[in-house]
Amino acid sequence: MPCRYLWILVIFVIALAKVHAANIVVRHAQPESDNDKRQQYFVELLNLALSKTEAGFGAYQTQTCAVRMMQDRALQQLQRKRCIDVVWTMTSLERESKLLAVRIPLLKGLLGQRVLMIRREDLRRFRDIQQLSELAQMRAGQGMGWPDIEILEYNRLPVIEGKTYEGLFGMLERGRFDYFPRGISEVGAELKQHQREGFVAEPRILLSYPAPIYYFVNPENTVLAERLEQGLRLAIDDGSFEALFKKFNYHKLADLMENRLVFKLRNPSLHPKTPIDEDKLWVLPNLVKNLR
């Protein structure tokens, strides 16, 4: 082979190696259950943030971890740098002490606006509630390790814990607890998935507390954290974040809050660096500020 062709081949191989090396793989967890349809938005948003930053950080691929796991285990695996590079979940002081939070609220604060999923036959029991102290006579259901438990108990609302997300619906059906607080971005799809059980969204009451969902990465993975924050902010500034938000119809959900009795709850586990004052990051910035 002539020398110049050999050099061309060498250059091509080096270039190909550089492209391959720049093709960063970002791994995320599977949903806890096949019935859990909440994850697609966060996967698409992750890809949007990564695509916005290819020029500065290189090409990427996203992969789903082959092992299905509950949220607490996924966070542990992330902390140990096994199988998972990013998790999206509600923040808390404990989580932000162990992991690196990308402090951009992915649902713009909607998760903390909670309606009550209840059994249809219990509608009458909730009809006359006017005070938080009256709701405190009922029992809420929550998943083991969820930050909401601390919030509800801090505000003197009793909580029954379940081991798995899917198992909580069975517990509600069997009367193990009286209501399941669901974000207004979650409840519609969940009611459709559980039509057989006869659940309904209680029509009057709204629990409201600041509960941003963030992307979390391992504390050593500062490059990925920087990339995600840059990508999300670019998407916010050019409107593509809002376009994706609207694609999933999340912009319409604020209407579900109208004409409801709002019980404002304090979140004792809200990090001081929560970007409360960046209005563009929230659907209802004034409400979030009032609940700090």
Q: The domain that contains 52 carries what CATH number?
A: 3.40.190.10
Q: Is residue 204 part of a domain?
A: no
Return the SS3 of 208.
strand
Q: What is residue 4's predicted lDDT score, i.e. its pLDDT?
A: 52
Q: Among candidates 140, 108, 120, 277, which has minimal Cα distance to 207? A: 140
pTM, two decimal places: 0.83
Answer yes or no: is 220 within a domain. yes
Among residues 105, 60, 63, the alpha carbon closest in space to that of 86 is found at 63
DSSP, collapsed to helix, strand or coil, labels residue 24 as strand
According to DSSP H, which parts of the chain are helical?
Answer: 3-22, 40-52, 54-57, 71-79, 93-98, 123-127, 132-135, 148-154, 165-173, 187-193, 222-238, 240-247, 285-290
Is residue 101, in this structure, part of any structural domain at all? yes
- Owning domain of residue 23: 3-108+213-252
Question: What pLDDT is attached to residue 208?
Answer: 92
User: Is 48 domain-assigned?
Assistant: yes
Nearest to residue 209, comparing CAs of 112, 101, 65?
112
Does residue 79 sit within a domain? Answer: yes
Structural domain contains residue 287 = no
Give the span between the Cα atoms of 48 and 241, in whole angstroms: 8
- The tally of domains found in the chain comes to 1
Pairwise CA distance, residues 195 & 221, whole Å: 42
- Each residue's pLDDT tens digit in the chain (292 positions)? 555 544 444 444 444 444 444 589 999 988 776 666 678 899 999 999 999 999 999 999 999 988 888 888 899 999 998 889 999 999 999 999 999 999 999 999 888 899 999 999 999 999 999 999 999 999 999 999 899 999 999 999 999 999 999 999 999 999 999 999 998 888 888 999 999 999 999 999 999 998 999 999 999 999 999 999 999 999 999 999 999 999 988 877 777 777 899 999 999 999 999 998 899 999 877 666 655 5
Residue 246 included in any domain? yes
Q: What is the DSSP pairing of strand 205-208 with strand 113-119?
A: antiparallel
Residue 196 maps to a domain: no
